[in-house]
A and B are shown apart, each in its own frame.
Chain A
Amino acid sequence: MLEVKGVQKTFGKKKVLQGVDLTVEDGEIKGLIGINGAGKSTLIECVCGTKKPDSGEIYIDHKNVLNRKGRKEVKSLIGYMPQTFRMFNDLTVEENLRYLCAVYGLPVEKSGDVMECCRIADAAKVLAGNLSGGYRQLLSMASALLHSPKFLILDEPTAAMDPIFRKQFWDIIREYRKENATILVITHYLEELVECDTFACLANGKTAFNGTLAEFKQDGLLNIEQILNKYTF
């Protein structure tokens, strides 16, 4: 379970997070929406332990992310897929994954499995820098799934994907969910929110809404624009 309690973060004079509360239950897929600059990525960086919040508490599997020991432990529990492609362009797909196998102390065969799982085995020998946008995202996904993390955090994972790759991508997520993984996904697409059990909306540095899509539809809010307009402005 992921628990975020009253997290605040300030950059200079700008208060990015002003007491965010968020809970993601075990085995749940949670969506996170918000306009650009709402603090979604900052929240995720705090959750992953790469940014230290000014105040608040964050627990993953009851381990405190904000202390050094907890942060070290949760790194192997989390699989993070960033918004932008961050793999070595001058290594092949296979070498990139093998590099990470070495980091996690996994056998190299694991890279083959995850390539099959993410449907990029046919590009195994291609340099990551030469991959198309869709394949790059799948490689990022593969690197996040490599060590079979309990928590998967996806930051706008399908932003650069065409509908076919997007469908493939969500097939992989659904498949992975069967392993009782907890997934937090940032998205701007309504059709992806449908895949989530619950979602939260961040606005003005706070959790403006936390619930299911059905609750929105009851209020007559039928698209993301309407939801964001209601809570942000």
Chain B
Amino acid sequence: MLRFLKLMGYETKRIFRNKLIFGMLLGFCVLLICSLFLVQSSTREYVVAVYTDGIENVEESDTIKIMNVRRQTKLVEVDSAEKGMDMLRRGDAIFFLRLSAALLDENGEGPVTATIYYDGSSYVINNIVDDIKDERDRRAYIALVDFLNEWGISVNSAYFRPVEFRQVAQKGNSEKTIFTHDQMAFGLEIAACVYLILLLGIAYSLARDRETQVSKNISYIPIGHNTYFLSKIVPFFILGMLEMLLICVLGAKLLGIAFQVNLFVVWALSSFFVMATIAFSLLCSMMKNQISSVFLGMMSLLIPLFVEILVVIPALPTYMRVILNFFPVTAFMRFFNGMVYNGLILWKNIFIFLGQTVGYYLLALFVIKKQS
């Protein structure tokens, strides 16, 4: 153990002595600041007028009209007592009823959160869209997007983001201003930052050792591949966890993101993602040279990110989603947002991370043994 700690100490020294890796650490801070800025600047304003004919007890009112004043369009007019209303209509009705109830709160305080999230098997909007059970059904997803678009809310990849409706004007049966505080893809940004530094750091560090044949020397001295690898990657794990802590604390304290799960639980569970990333980076570092390693690593980051931004992963066919799940970033985006915004711990994703960690680590060991 003492031997392992000593080796780890020297590896840590190497990380901080290396200008490129240290530069990436600084670069990470810049990325983080940029992503925080994105979060802060993504507040959008909508003006709607809410009319009800039963202010005192809006949930029991007969008719509710919600207008988008800016667009001068009627968004919805429902009669909650209507019989034979289909599921989607009923869902719409309850959704708007709840929203109206919040808007017309006597105290005029307290935001109501309409959270659109993925609970591991289906999309849920405040648990009301009962008919969209199968997230693989693209038509259902498109219907959901249309439904939200009607509200003037951009839902491009927003199926997982919280949309917070905040009442600003005072109570009354009049025009209200609603802010949708769209927190962008916070998990996506974090995934990118943490993944970048860990993956590039490890891939660069190990591939460089292979290029300079230092790792070949290991075969001639009495040190096992496991000890060598672990002494190299544990400092990166500690580094990754420090970054996660920094992100969580900054997110909570600076941006006021209301963590739905305890901050330290979020941090601790993120360790699974960090482990999976490190194991994948280890595998990347088995490439012939630094450029190939870094290229492979970048691809594994950029593919899920672009797919997420441009297409939305759950809207893809099953086989595509299975392929994307080989990259740790894919599972992390849902995992992190699920915890932070929805108070959900997606255990399925933890198992994905564990599988990736064990699989990639063993594969990397197999490759290095075969190569040496």
Contact = CB atoms under 8 A, between A and B. Distances in A.
A35 interface: no
Contacts of B6: 99, 102
A103 B3 contact: yes
A179 B265 CA distance: 59
B107 interface: no
Interface in B307-355: none
Interface stretch (A78-86, A115-123, A211-219, A225-233): A78-86
A156 to B, nearest CB: 14
Given A75-B220, A76-B222, A103 B10 contact: no
B83 interface: no
Contacts of B17: 90-91
A209 to B, nearest CB: 27
Interface residues of B, number: 20
B7 interface: yes
B226 interface: no
B14 interface: yes
Given A100-B221, A102-B7, A91 B212 contact: no
Interface in A76-113: 76, 78, 80, 82, 84-91, 95, 98-100, 102-105
A89 B17 CA distance: 10
Q: Is the interface of B mostly helix, strand, loop or mixed?
A: helix
Q: Which of B3, B6, B217, B372 has the largest number of chain A CB atoms within 10 A? A: B217
A72 B224 CA distance: 10
B213 A86 contact: yes
Nearest to A82: B217
Contact of B222 (A86, A90, A103): A103
Q: Which of B213, B221, B222 has the largest number of chain A CB atoms within 10 A? A: B221
A72 B17 CA distance: 33
Contacts of A89: 212
Contact of B10 (A72, A84, A102): A102
Contact of A75 (B14, B213, B222): B222
Given A90-B14, A91-B14, A103 B223 contact: yes
Interface of B: 3, 6-7, 10, 13-14, 17-18, 209, 212-214, 216-217, 219-223, 372
Given A90-B18, A91-B14, 14 more contacts: A48-B219, A75-B220, A75-B222, A82-B213, A84-B213, A85-B212, A86-B212, A86-B217, A88-B10, A91-B10, A91-B17, A98-B10, A99-B6, A103-B3
